Amino acid sequence: MRLQTLALALAVIVGLLGGLHLALTPLAYAEWTIEALWFVGTGLAIVVAGTANFVGFRSWGLGGQRILTAINIAMGCYFAAAWLVLPGPQIIFGVMLFAGLATCSLIAARSKGISNPS
């Protein structure tokens, strides 16, 4: 499996995970509270990260791959920090998705840096 194909598949899964997170907001929170706002914000962050990866792995150069690496590491750390208050399989799944995307973006940045040093 090509690196780009794997990264795009992971990006789509991340986007779907974020969409599911957003869709679950009314089920998790009966009223609009600060907790509901944080839940929605997290879902939006997941969707934006997935979208950035989907676009980035299709067209960006070395700089874009470096940005994706930073996004993916940050999101992986965010999921890992969530483990402290919500230890569950969805957190492990999120960490694994973003660790996979970070690995893909690091490999892509390395190969782009080797083939086109700047």
Report the mean per-residue pLDDT for the chain.
91
Supply the range of the domain harboring residue 54.
Answer: 3-115
What was the pLDDT predicted at 62?
Answer: 79
Rounded Cα gap, residues 81 and 47, in angstroms: 19
pLDDT band at 59 (very low <50, low <70, confident <90, very high): confident
Q: When comparing pLDDT for 87 and 61, which is higher?
A: 87
What's the token pair of residue 102? 């970070």
Q: How many other C-beta atoms can be found within 10 angstroms of the C-beta atom of residue 79?
A: 22
Which percentage of the chain shows pLDDT scores above 70? 94
Q: Using the 8-state DSSP alphabet, how is residue 84 labeled?
A: T
Crossing angle of the two packed helices 3-23 and 89-115, in degrees rounded to 10:
150
For the full predicted model, state whether its pTM sits above 0.85.
yes
